[in-house]
Every structure is written in structure tokens, then in C-alpha cells.
Amino acid sequence: MSDPKPTILNFINGQYRTGSGKLFDDIDPVTGHRVAQVSEAGRSDVDAAVKAARAALDGPWGKLTLAQRADMLYAIAAAIDRRAKDFLAAEIADTGKPYKLASHLDIPRGAANFRVFADAVRNVPTECFTMTAPDGQPGLNYALRRPKGVIAVVCPWNLPLLLMTWKVAPALACGNTVIVKPSEETPATAALLGEVMNEVGVPPGVYNVVHGFGPGSAGEFLTTHPGVDAITFTGETRTGAAIIKAAADGIKPVSMELGGKNPAIVFADANLDVVAAGLARSVFENTGQVCLGTERVYVERPVFDAVVQKLADAAKALRPGASGDIAANWGPLISREHQQKVLSYYALAREEGAHAVCGGGVPDMPEALRGGAWIEPTVWTGLPQTARVVQEEIFGPCCHVMPFDTEEEALRLAGDTPYGLAASVYTRDINRAHRVASKLKVGVAWVNTWFLRDLRTAFGGSGMSGIGREGGVHSLEFYTELSNVCIKLEGAPA
């Protein structure tokens, strides 16, 4: 993995191996140049990974105690910390993220996820009931948590290490084995984590990685494999729907964290400096490529102009640059293909009659960076609620800002979406904060902030934003099966 232009291999049964498919390119979105080639996994490679995972589940991994597994997760976290520079270099090469963002969020959270779920699995309770049957017979019931089995982990490209370990850590904590299919755009950190697994003594087959695409490639081979017991996916809603259909044949449990068209509601009494800081992050962080990001902003009319100006000023202050530029706080989109998708929405906004307060195109970059997937942060006003730009997820650094006059109107506009992932509310009125947050049909509602996360809390969406919840005990519920043990008590008092 130290070669600046390596071939990134599949990791199966504790060993790196070439796949039976073709090689494909891993492109640096900053420059558009190839940084590596990736070995695509064929059906036989996925079969081998499933067999290895099953053998580890029934063998050495399955024989470890809960405490031993938790200790192993702590060792993985410590090894990620020790190799933070390696993980940072791999993540930046794949995603083009600014150094500041990747070094302060992606890599530290990748390690933290293992610690959080090691602690969670040590402390999660199960049920215990004493009972008396109708005939007077006393009994004792208690629950056991058992691993679900072999878990297919299908990951997105926007936060590759963070969101992959967000699934792998609780799955391993609960005693499962995993096969990870990272995005074809961002394969490096999932592959590198295999070195860490070997380094700390995780048994072969517990953690496996297969590279490739969706239909007709590793994604399809994995999600339709009869040896997989459950599937967890984070990504685009249409892909999630296809995976759910594949899982239906085997009645496999699924956990789906999908897309969003998240609103922010700004009331006139809000602290506008807090609003500006919160919206600047939720709209523009990671170049808008965050499932929790804000694409719809509703502002009470008396402060509408002020909020629009502050948001535009924040966009204009962003500094693009190469990933190694310590001062840069603005990166490219993940690929030229995604750039074209987002630019098509920029063109659609113009056609629909939007006023671009700022942005709306491609920035003029230095010659060395012009091959990258760069795009301007963009703020629109002037569109109706029915406009496609207001209704459809774009997944780019842009938002539409619309005024409202009453709390009821704000709630109606915010709820006018088939998605239900996240929302933000800005107000100094504590009663209004509780009232409005409770009426938003979303998985996460923030008040006067954004992306403030306690990893023990429930995370997920409703509607087209997903199925199930992750975080703390909620993740453990998905990765375990509960079994009830009922003991007949002889001679005990009724």
C-alpha cells in the first residue's frame, strides 16, 4: 500500500489476492489522474470470501468471548491511530478531501467507531422476566444475543472509512463476520484496513473486502449470495431499492441508510451568526456530499435577506486547493461523472428560473487541477416548492433558500418531501424548538447546530431515506438475533 500507484487488491481470508475480474482505475478527483488500479472481484472471489467468513464464524472467531472480541476492537482502533498518516493519505487520494476535513473527521471517527461499539457490546442489557403461568407454574425467562452470521457491508464513497467502520465495528462486536464491498470510487481504506486486521491478530476470514461495481459485478454477486445472512447498505435510494429486492429472495434482514433532501428552518429570533456557521457546514462541508447535508433552507421573512447574504458570503470565502494544501477547505466532487450530474441540476435551476446568488458553475482552477471534478458552491433563491431542484436530491454543494411567514407554513414546506433523514431548526425560543423538532418526520432533528453526534443515539431515516436505525444499542439490534431461554422452576413459590 506504500506504492503511490499501487494495484489495490481484494482481501479474502486474511490474504491479498487479485480478482478474477478486470482491473479498473482509481482516479484522483483533484487532478483527474489515475492514482491506482483496482482488482475487480469476480463471482468466484465473492464465493471464496463468503466461505472464509462462514469458516471464521464457525471457527476461531466464534469461539472468542464477548470480552475478547471487545478487546480486539480496541486493538484495531489503536492500530488505526498508529497508522493515521497511511489512512489519511489513502482517503485523500481517493476522495480529494481537504486535509483539514479528513484529518479531523474521517480518520479519527474510523478509529472511534471500534471503541464505541466495543464499549456498547460490553454494556448492552438483555431481557429477564420471572413469570407465573396460568396453572401456577413459575418460570424464569432470559434473552441471549447471538450473531446474525455473515454480513454483507456495502459502502458509499462520500465518507469511506467512517461509514464502513460504522457498520463493520458493531458487526464484529456482536460476533459476526463481514464482507465489505467499498465503492469503486474509494477502495483504498477498506483494503488498507485488512493490514490492520492481520497486524492485531483478527482471525482470517473475519474481515474480507471485494472490489467492483454493482450490477454484474461484486455488488450483485455479494447481495444475491445465498451464504450471506444480512445486508447493510448506505448510499443512493435507487441502489438501496435494488438491494432490498435482491434480499427478498432469501428473506434476508436489511439495514438501509439512503438519500435525503434535508431542510433547515430559520426563525427570525435565531442568532444569525449561529445560523450562518451551521448552514455553511451543512450545505458546503465535504463539497455537499453528505447524506445529512442541507439542500432546502426556509427562512422567516424578516431575516430572509440577511441569511441569504451570510450564506453567500460563506460560500465565497471557501478556498479550493489540492488535498495537501493545509489552508484549503474546499475539495472537488468525487468524480467527473458526479460533477456532470450536479452541473445538470445547476443548468436545470437556471431553466426553472432560479436566481443564483452565488456560484452556479465550475471555478477557474490552476492548470494542474483543471482535470479535477471541481464545482462552485451555489445558493439559489426564487424557485417554487414544486421545482425539481427543490424536490430532488442533488448531493452537491448547493441549496435553495425560500421565505416563510408562519410556523405552520415552515413545517408544511419542510415536510413536503418523500425523504425523512435529517433537519435543522434555528431559534432562541426553547418551546418552539421542542415543538417544531417533534413535528419533523425525520430520523435526526438538530436545534441550533448540525452534525453534532452522540454515537450511542439512533441514526437513520424514514420514507425514501431508509429502513432501520444505527448507533449504540440500535446497531446491536440489527447485528444480533435474540433467543429466549425459559426455565421451569421446580418448587418455587407461585
- For the residues of 97-146, what is the DSSP string, one character each? --HHHIIIIIHHHHHHHHHHHHHHHHH----EEEEE-TTS-EEEEEEEEE
What does the pLDDT read at residue 324?
A: 76
Between vectors from CA 287 to CA 285 and to CA 293, what angle results, nearest 5°? 55
Would you say 31 and 335 are in contact if contact means Cβ atoms under 8 Å apart? Answer: no
Alpha-carbon span 94 to 91, nearest angstrom: 5
**Strands 10-12 and 15-17, how do they pair?**
antiparallel
32 vs 29, 183, 289, CA distance in Å?
5, 17, 18
| Residue 401 phi, psi dihedral angles, 5° rounding | -115, 130
- Give the strands of the sheet with 23-27, arranged side by side: 7-8, 34-39, 23-27
d(CA 18, CA 238): 30
- Rounded to whole angstroms, what are the CA distances from 204 to 18, 148, 273, 363? 17, 19, 52, 47
**CA distances in angstroms from 442 to 106, 388, 475, listed in the order given:** 24, 21, 18
Q: CA 165, CA 369: separation in Å to the nearest integer?
A: 31
pTM of the entire predicted model: 0.95
Measured at the alpha carbon of residue 323, what is the angle toward residues 423 and 91, in degrees to the nearest 5? 70
* pLDDT tens digit at each of 494 positions of the chain: 444 568 999 999 999 999 987 999 999 999 999 999 999 999 999 999 999 999 999 999 999 999 999 999 999 999 999 999 999 999 999 999 999 999 999 999 999 999 999 999 999 989 999 998 888 899 999 999 999 999 999 999 999 999 999 999 999 999 999 999 999 999 999 999 999 999 999 999 999 999 999 999 999 999 999 999 999 999 999 999 999 999 998 899 999 999 999 999 999 999 999 999 999 999 999 999 999 999 999 999 999 999 999 999 999 999 998 877 888 899 999 999 999 999 999 999 999 999 999 999 999 999 999 999 999 999 999 999 999 999 999 999 999 999 999 999 999 999 999 999 999 999 999 999 999 999 999 999 999 999 999 999 999 999 999 999 999 999 999 999 999 999 999 875 54
> Does 291 participate in catalysis according to the annotation?
yes
Catalytic residue, chosen from 155, 174, 184, 291, is: 291
Q: What does the pLDDT read at residue 5? A: 65
Q: How many angstroms separate the CA atoms of 458 and 347, rounded? A: 37
Query: How far is the CA of 471 from the CAs of 169, 255, 340, 478, in angstroms?
Result: 11, 12, 34, 10
Residue 334, Cβ neighbours under 10 Å: how many? Answer: 26
One of 257, 285, 295, 393 is an active-site residue; which one?
Answer: 257
Strand partners, 25: 37
- Rounded to whole angstroms, the Cα distance separating 268 from 398 reads 22
405, 301 in Cβ contact below 8 A?
A: yes
Residue 328's pLDDT is: 87
CA 394 from chain centre, in angstroms, equals 16
CB of 445 within 8 A of CB of 419? Answer: no
Annotate 79-115 with b (16+ C-beta within 10 A) or e (fewer): bbeebeebbbbbbbbbbbbbbebbbebbbbbbbbbbb
Radius of gyration of the chain (CA): 24
Domains of the chain: 7-258+465-483 (3.40.605.10), 262-447 (3.40.309.10)
Q: CB 406: neighbour CB atoms within 10 A?
A: 10
pLDDT of residue 374: 98
Helix, strand, or coil (residue 92): helix
Q: Answer whether 183's CB lies under 8 Å from 211's CB.
A: no
DSSP code per residue over 437-473 = HHHS-SSEEEES-SS---TTS-B--EETTEES-BSHH
Give the angle 414-415-420 at the CA atoms, nearest 5°.
105
Strand ranges in 201-270 using DSSP code E only, listed in sequence order: 207-209, 230-234, 254-257, 262-266
Is 91 designated active site? Answer: no
Which pLDDT score is estimated for 322? 84
